[in-house]
Structure 1
Amino acid sequence: MDDDSDVSGLRATLRANPAGHWLSTPAPQVAEQLAQTDADFVVVDTEHAPTDLESVEAAVRAVDAANATGEDGAADTAAVVRVAWNDHVRIKRVLDTGAAGVMAPQVNTVDEAEAFVAAARYPPEGHRGVAGTRASRYGRDLDDYYERANDRVATIAQVETAEAVDNAGEISAVDGLDALLVGPADLSAALGVFGEYEHEQFVAAVEAVLDASTVPVGTLATSLDEVDYWAALGFDYQIVGVDAGYLRTGAAAALERYEQVGEE
């Protein structure tokens, strides 16, 4: 892992127990509202959400617009994009939108982790292509962006299989990788205990990742109880909820309250 003094932006934030939201609805208005909660980051999903590249850019722009700007010029809430696959073309395109970080699913081996990091880094550390896109204010700040991007743009590899659990220590040690994220649904499914997050096999896998990793390890909560549970297991950071879940639970709670009032 890079020395702390060498990183900034989201790469540094990930080492400070941050919390974020998950955006499954490809609407900039939703992204902006999530960012207005002062979360450390918002993850824009493109793997299991109907989110095309234009929608990604709109969501990233909305997160940026919601931010108050700190003294160092860094945004308070960072936009992370979860690509649909660990593919260098997908990675470079979402980073060109100005995203502060990228998350890749199903990173199972050291070779896959190295390819992931290389796709997100400019030469000589990687092979990300250089262009005057939104990330560099359409070329106006290209020199400055090129100089700072490798220190600021975060890479998060998802652990979702038994193979990834076995390789977690070596994956985490890949130079330039900033964090791991355990995908609880996919990992539990891969282990044959889907959704059974208290099952000994799932808990053992999580503990193995936490023990082996040399970078922060996070996960996704879909309820307040899960926030508590994941914290107790020892995760370093969390995505504390999903936009669709917030909408579903809020709507259900309002209807339930109305029904209770009507019965009084």
Structure 2
Amino acid sequence: MTETRLRTRLRDGEPVSGYWTTLADPAVPELVAETGFDFVVVDTEHTPSNLETVANGLRAIDAASTEATGVVRVPWNDQVKIKRVLDLDPAGVMAPMISTPEEATEFVAATRYPPRGVRGIGVGRSAGYGRDVGGQVERGDADLVRVAQIETEPGVENVGEIAAVEGLDALFIGPADLSAALGSFGDHGDEFEDAVSRVLDAGSEHDTPVGTLATSTDDVERWVEWGFDYVICGVDTLDLVRGADAALTAHEAARE
């Protein structure tokens, strides 16, 4: 059995970069993959994307000339939703709002075939559309990155036990939801920093990489300095908004 390059790099503690996509056009993850990020997230929690959208996004990432791989953020820690995404053959899957070790254990079980888990066996893209079902079942536990999002107060309180769950490959702090859960949306002050430190310490203790999302280049520098193992370095819609705003501002200034 072989591991994906992403899983190997995370396991070995190498710096890893990602990018977050929300737009439905597969050209978006394709052009981001061509940029040279190690992985591209295809989000389904806060987007209108359906399974066909996700499948085309993953194909676009796989077709890029780089070694980028696709990670899908599912809308919830739900066995059925996870199963259907895994049939599309992502390199990784991310589940939001993991707050207890029991939830983390259920997440891992949803990604594993029996007898170690509860994932159903199908003949989708991950199994070569039926040509390699046996091979997929054999590889399934070796080539998938499982990421649990820590973005609630109970998640922070239980993070040591969550990080210790066998089969979990990485943690991810959702800065917007975590700061909101702490009662200070968007505030990265002392309380937020203390919570982040707790998660980072748990990750270090259990050799579980911890990452987060940067929504600006300043954030990228901040999160690297704080000690995150991997950083998702931008979001398609936010970068498009900034680019459009800058272009309009430049035009208005030139007309003055």
Aligned-partner SS, 1:103: strand
Pairwise CA distance, 1:141: 2.3
Cα deviation digits, residues 83-107 of structure 1 (max 9, x gap): 1100010001001011111000000
The one-letter amino acid of 2:220's match is V
CA contact (8 A) 2:71 2:93 kept: yes
CA contact (8 A) 1:10 1:152 kept: no
Pairwise CA distance, 1:253: 2.3
Within 5 Å, give how 1:1-264 maps onto structure 2: 7-15=3-11, 16-68=14-66, 76-197=67-188, 199-213=189-203, 214=206, 215-263=208-256
* Structure-2 separation of matches of 1:117 and 1:6: 19
* Structure-2 separation of matches of 1:183 and 1:171: 15
* Structure-2 separation of matches of 1:195 and 1:216: 23
Pairwise CA distance, 1:260: 4.2
CA contact (8 A) 1:178 1:216 kept: yes
* Structure-2 separation of matches of 1:150 and 1:111: 19
Cα deviation digits, residues 209-259 of structure 1 (max 9, x gap): 101122000000000011111111111101000000121112222333334
* Structure-2 separation of matches of 1:13 and 1:35: 17
Alignment identity in percent?
53
**Cα distance change of structure 1 residues 236 and 162 upon mapping to structure 2, 3 Å threshold:** same
* Structure-2 separation of matches of 1:232 and 1:102: 26
* Structure 2, unpaired ranges of 5+: none
The one-letter amino acid of 2:221's match is D
Aligned-partner SS, 1:138: helix
The one-letter amino acid of 1:116's match is F
Taking structure 1 as the reference length, the TM-score comes to: 0.90
CA RMSD of aligned residues (A): 1.6
Aligned-partner SS, 2:140: helix
* Structure 1, unpaired ranges of 5+: 69-75
Pairwise CA distance, 1:187: 0.3
Pairwise CA distance, 1:262: 4.4
Aligned-partner SS, 1:27: coil
* Structure-2 separation of matches of 1:6 and 1:37: 26
Taking structure 2 as the reference length, the TM-score comes to: 0.93
CA contact (8 A) 2:18 2:41 kept: yes
- What's the counterpart of residue 72 of structure 1? none
Give the number of equivalent residue pairs.
251
